[in-house]
Copies of this chain bind each other. A is one copy, B any other.
Amino acid sequence: MGTEILTVGTELLLGQTVDTNTAWISQRLAEAGIDVFYKTTVGDNWGRIEAAMRLALSRAEALIITGGLGPTEDDLTRDVLAAVINRPLKPDPAVLAHIEKRFAQRRMPMAENNKKQAMVPEGVEVLHNPRGTAPGLFAVADGKAIACLPGVPGEMMPMCLEQVIPRIRARFGSKGRIVSRVLKACGISESTLDQRIGDYFREMRNPTIGVLAHRGEIHVRLTCKGDDPQRIGAQLDDLEDKIRERLGHLIFARDEEVMEAVVGRLLRQRGATLAVAESCTGGLVASRLTDVSGSSDYFESGVVAYSLAAKQALLDVPRALLEQYGAVSLPVATAMAEGVRRRGGTTFGLATTGVAGPTGGTPEKPVGLVWVALAWEGGSSGRDFRLLGDREMIKHRGSQMALEMLRRHLLGVPAEEA
């Protein structure tokens, strides 16, 4: 049972947008046991969209198309589909009402051309889009299934997962599955990881192990093939146990869970609260923590003290300390953590101060030097990191190390262990 993916958009051919949609769709199809044999990308050009659609339908049983469903002139997917399956386009009242409602919600005038998005080829199913104006389409023609999805990932993903893949599976049935599981480690190098679990790596055939370094994290991906979901689950559990035995607390999360959510879960479990004081991370630690729904249960407040004056005024960092050790130092990081904790009246205070670069580095305090400190009732700890990358990367890795320090403290794991 073969499926193809067709992505439409001139910005993709010009390389101005990296296509992340097809990788995501491919993963979901693999998990559903649906083979993908070809992926194709074409620009906003009627002739080539039509040619690519016809070719794909000549090779595959199902075709998933993303992009080209918008309201503008160069959005052609809807019209080309109608031509290829030879069905007239008709306005769909329900879709039109949905679009009008969204504009009303945003209290924005709805332009005439938005009505184009309410046009649906006769006999084609409309895939509701709660997150945007452009609905998806699901057509069946000559025994082939064709799904059209919006190009915006946030709109495409749920529609694909909840509405398209179930329809394709139901239509063509598929037994085999490929299931992946990702174990996330932090504060460990790829080579160290290879030393610890390299043997599984080389031995294992099913499940297989893949390792990917990703923004201050290392993702260990276990991929298992089979027909029986239960057996696949058991095989993955078995390998996961083996790997956890070797890596222990270095693994901070599994699959979609992110560091800020893990830390939040641990804080909530302990009924603890947190305030953060940031210099070099500039608010990123607070922003990541508050990305988690319900974070108001444990996240109390944050202070971004960029200037020396702000460090004194907002965090009570003694001027003498700043003069003696400089802003990027353990004593100042600790004073920031203690200050924000005292002011916030929280269980923990977490602080970062460092040199994010690209300028401002010195031989003693180079770009990438970041001090992280944690303060609690009657105690504190801190350490420095030498982080690589550009400013944005150093900010991200600094925030990661700060969250990891708190995570390890909450678990009673030594901050230094790797």
Whether the Cβ atoms of A190 and B107 lie closer than 8 Å is no
Q: Say how many copies of this protein the assembly contains.
A: 2
Please tell me if A113 contacts chain B, counting CB pairs below 8 Å. yes
| 8 Å CB interface, A355-404 against B | 356-359, 386, 388-393, 395
Please tell me if A10 contacts chain B, counting CB pairs below 8 Å. yes
Question: Smallest CB–CB gap between A370 and chain B, Å?
Answer: 12
Please tell me if A338 contacts chain B, counting CB pairs below 8 Å. no
Q: How far is it, in angstroms, between the C-alpha of A364 and the C-alpha of B14 when the chains are bound?
A: 45
Contacting chain B: which of A119-127, A227-235, A293-301, A329-337? A293-301
Contacting chain B: which of A80-88, A164-172, A194-202, A407-415? A194-202
Whether the Cβ atoms of A108 and B198 lie closer than 8 Å is no
Closest A-B pairs by Cβ, 7 of them: A282-B290, A15-B26, A283-B286, A302-B304, A111-B191, A283-B283, A15-B27
Pairs A–B under 8 Å by Cβ, sample size 14:
A10-B223, A37-B43, A55-B55, A73-B198, A74-B211, A106-B189, A278-B283, A282-B289, A282-B295, A283-B284, A301-B306, A302-B304, A304-B304, A314-B343
* Known contacts A72-B198, A73-B194; 13 further A-B pairs (Cβ under 8 A): A11-B212, A71-B191, A71-B194, A72-B211, A105-B388, A131-B388, A283-B284, A283-B287, A286-B287, A299-B306, A302-B302, A303-B314, A304-B304
Residues in chain A within 8 A of chain B (CB atoms): 10-20, 22-30, 36-45, 48, 52, 55, 70-74, 102-103, 105-114, 131, 152, 154, 178, 180, 182, 189-192, 194-195, 198, 201-202, 210-213, 221, 223, 276, 278, 281-287, 289-291, 293-296, 299-307, 309-310, 313-314, 343-345, 356-359, 386, 388-393, 395, 418
